[in-house]
Chains A and B, each alone.
Chain A
Amino acid sequence: MEFQDAKLETRGYSLYYGGFQALRDIDIQIPENRITAVIGPSGCGKSTFLRTFNRMNDLISGVAVEGGVYIEDQDVFQMDPVELRHYVGMVFQRPNPFPKSVFDNVAYGPRAHGERDRAKLAEAVERSLRAAVLWDEVKDGLTKSALELSGGQQQRLCIARALAVEPDVILMDEPASALDPVATLKIEELIQELKKSYTIVIVTHNMQQAARVSDYTAFLMMDEEDRAGYLVEYGPTDRIFTNPEHEITERYITGRFG
């Protein structure tokens, strides 16, 4: 898959944990304002791959990388990670609101980036909560602890918190896997809505979810010998799910392993 103006790109990207190679030679281009799903069996390096784009892997000692990772043709490894994460937000597998009020959770990012003006903060909080379709549920309880919200609400709060920083890209690491079906549906609808303004990369375990929400799908698999993750195939979601090029992709998406 080649795009004229890819938002994110990796070229010959490999990642090592000490002596173990977790990702091998991945070339991918991720288009702007689309939802790209990353699927693959447990342990194939999906999350590690996702965390490449905001350099969260830097937090783990002993990680080494090869190859290039680019956001709008800028090498992310040349950027300050704090600045990079301003453009590339992230939503985690388990809702992880801070033990602070709803307002303070959403205002955390803008405040960290230096915003002190109360009116501007209040505006950013409302805009982000509306965008995350949570505003109507929490507008009367902005000072309540975020931990009082339900799991699904907490995850939408985490999305609002990421949006408040005004990123270009949002990385989602199995954002609905800890939620019940109703909350999952809400998150999926929200993701669809968000792609109008954001480039979204979502890691998921759930084939149906990938098929439902994404425009493009990348299938990662681990090497049988050394268990390094590699990109099997990448393309429009419709094609991957109806007419995959590789037999192994078909076996995976039809649930015969993984």
Chain B
Amino acid sequence: MSDSLRAKKVTLGHLVRWAASGEHGMSRARASFVRRQVVQQLAFGVLWLSGLAAVGILLAVVGYVVVQGARVIDWEFLTTPPAGGLASTDVGGMSTTVVSTVYLVFWTIVIAGPLGVLAAIYLVEYAEEMEGSRGLIPALVGVVRFAVEILAGVPSIVFGLFGYALFVSARALGWSFSMRSAAVTGACLVLPVIIRASEEAIRCVPRSHREASLALGATKWQTVWKVVLPSAAPGVVTGIVLSVGRVVSETAVFFVTLGGTVRAPDHLFDLASPGRSMALHVYYLAMETRAFDKAMGTSAVLILVIILINLSINLISRRLAARLGGE
């Protein structure tokens, strides 16, 4: 190896001299080496800038909202209901929207969680066996899988419109704007999220575990319930927590199903009452009142909740994985 090639590091100074001097006096190998280093430095620089931009934008949004919001957030803001009305006033907080959001998340997950997990079990454990064979059921399974893919990409306002037509305005049900209309529609929205996350997690459980269970004389359902689901639990839980985040941050769907009253439902089982989730509250404050500071305050709380949810995903799945994997 010649001495010229031994220089590993190319500094900016080298590059400037290289650019200024042309390629005079350089061997072909040296020229190629320098050129490749230039490309490397440029590519790395672009990647670095992109990363920086992404983090910068995120910090700008979160930072701006939190700093603006922090001005109005205090214990009173969190514990008093919104004042209602159009004017910006000093009184009024966000307490009832927190309560409505908690109820809404609870009912949405109660509906979509079990349904999504069971559907995922069906798709992986029962339906995939029939793949390749002909008949009505395999064809239906293909349709179901396709539907889940499509549903995951449907704009949320379309779900909202569906819920509005079917639950809110339809005379037959007469549910009107209510917690139950919102919860059922919200469940439709997050169902594909839960199904896909659970499907992925269930598919990752090694085949050898299923074989071991079946070879011991366990039934297929016992195998799914006692072996497959526990192993898939971290992924399933991740899907459910993601859905919680989705419900907390969703606006369009609940705008047309939950209503907008600042009163919270009386209790968890008060399903006929309308309500106003935190995200919806931000929308109303920003668009229909002059209480922009309170919109910022509510947004800041919302962002903190989302950050907490995301942190909990990591924590929960790591805990579960550690417990199942034996360190």
Contact = CB atoms under 8 A, between A and B. Distances in A.
Contacts, number: 80
Contact of A92 (B131, B212, B227, B326): B212
A62 B129 CA distance: 10
B217 A82 contact: yes
Interface in B200-223: 206, 208-209, 211-219, 222
Nearest to A144: B326
A149 to B, nearest CB: 9
B326 A145 contact: yes
A78 interface: no
B217 A158 contact: no
Contacts of B218: 82, 108-109, 112
B147 interface: no
Given A144-B326, A145-B327, A146-B326, A85 B215 contact: yes
B208 A96 contact: yes
Contacts of B129: 61
30 contacts: A56-B215, A59-B211, A59-B214, A61-B130, A61-B133, A82-B217, A82-B218, A85-B215, A85-B216, A85-B217, A92-B211, A96-B211, A97-B212, A99-B325, A99-B326, A100-B230, A100-B324, A108-B216, A108-B218, A108-B226, A112-B216, A112-B217, A112-B219, A112-B222, A145-B325, A145-B326, A147-B326, A161-B216, A162-B216, A165-B216
Interface size range on B against A:
20 to 34
B132 interface: yes
Nearest to B129: A61
B210 to A, nearest CB: 8
Interface of A: 54, 56, 59, 61-62, 82-83, 85-86, 89-90, 92, 94, 96-100, 108-109, 111-113, 144-148, 158, 161-162, 165
B231 interface: yes
Pick the most buried of B133, B206, B211, B326: most chain A CB atoms within 10 A of its CB.
Answer: B326
Closest 9 CB pairs of A and B: A145-B326, A96-B208, A112-B218, A85-B217, A90-B215, A109-B216, A147-B326, A86-B217, A99-B324
B324 to A, nearest CB: 4
Interface of B: 129-133, 206, 208-209, 211-219, 222, 226-227, 230-231, 324-327
A112 B211 CA distance: 14
B130 A109 contact: no
A54 B222 contact: no
Given A96-B211, A98-B209, A112-B226, A83 B326 contact: no
A98 B213 CA distance: 9
A178 B131 CA distance: 32
Contacts of B231: 99
Given A61-B132, A108-B218, 19 more contacts: A82-B218, A83-B217, A85-B215, A86-B217, A89-B215, A89-B216, A92-B211, A94-B208, A96-B206, A96-B208, A96-B209, A97-B212, A98-B212, A99-B324, A109-B218, A112-B216, A145-B324, A145-B326, A147-B325
B12 to A, nearest CB: 51
A161 B227 CA distance: 14
Pick the most buried of B209, B216, B230, B325: most chain A CB atoms within 10 A of its CB.
Answer: B216
A158 B214 contact: no
A129 B187 CA distance: 47
Contacts of B327: 145, 148
Contacts of B130: 61
B138 to A, nearest CB: 11
A200 to B, nearest CB: 15
Contacts of B219: 82, 112
Given A86-B217, A96-B206, A158 B326 contact: no
Contacts of A98: 209, 212-213, 227
A158 B215 CA distance: 11
Contacts of A162: 215-216
A85 B209 contact: no
Contacts of B230: 99-100
